């Protein structure tokens, strides 16, 4: 039997948490808002970058994900539109790309699937108990 996970909805808070969690402490990963996307979504005073990126994505525009481990313009992966910058490979990322990627991660099996399932169980404990009880 083959199944396919389809992510149908992601909230503003989901996106903020995903971006902030991935970005925190990462050596290879960075984020930015392209000028064309940023001009369509005005900045709100005292808004953090993750909140602004979530609003840009939810408004139907893209953000940039930067791979600082890329060594040159030929060092890229996947099918997303990408552009070499002086110090990184920048990938254009949309909300649909995020939904598809989460679905692929869940469907991949092995360690990633186990990790995501554990994460989902942990989130459910926070929802039900207000804390993680079962580790």
Q: Quick one: tokens of 35?
A: 């000028």
**Residue 54 dihedral angles phi and psi, to the nearest 5°:** -60, -45
Distance between CA atoms of residues 49 and 43, nearest Å: 9
Domain spans of the chain, in order of start? 9-93, 96-135
3-class DSSP string for 37-71: HHCCCCCCCCCCHHHHHHHHHHCCCCEEEEECCCC
**Segment 33-57, tens digit of pLDDT:** 998 888 888 889 999 999 999 999 9
For 73-123, how does the pLDDT look when each residue is reduced to its tens digit (9 = 90+)? Answer: 999 999 999 999 999 999 999 999 999 988 888 787 777 777 777 777 887
Q: Please spell the DSSP secondary structure of 71-123, one letter per residue.
A: -STT---SSS-EEE-SSSEEEEE-HHHHHHHHHHHHHT-HHHHHHHHHHHHHH
Distance CA 116, CA 93 (A): 21
* pLDDT score, position 135: 66
The answer, yes or no, to whether residue 11 has pLDDT greater than 90, is yes
């Amino acid at each position: 039997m083959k199944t396919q996970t389809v992510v149908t909805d992601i909230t503003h808070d989901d996106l903020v948490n995903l971006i902030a969690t991935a970005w925190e402490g990462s050596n290879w990963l960075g984020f930015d808002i392209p000028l064309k996307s940023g001009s369509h979504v005005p900045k709100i005073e005292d808004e953090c970058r993750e909140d602004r990126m979530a609003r840009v994505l939810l408004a139907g525009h893209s953000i940039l994900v930067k791979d600082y481990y890329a060594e040159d313009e030929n060092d890229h992966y996947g099918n997303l539109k990408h552009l070499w910058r002086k110090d990184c490979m920048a990938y254009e990322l949309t909300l649909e790309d995020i939904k598809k990627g989460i679905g692929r991660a869940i469907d991949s099996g092995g360690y990633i699937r186990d990790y995501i399932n554990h994460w989902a169980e942990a989130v459910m404990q926070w929802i039900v108990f207000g804390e993680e009880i079962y580790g």
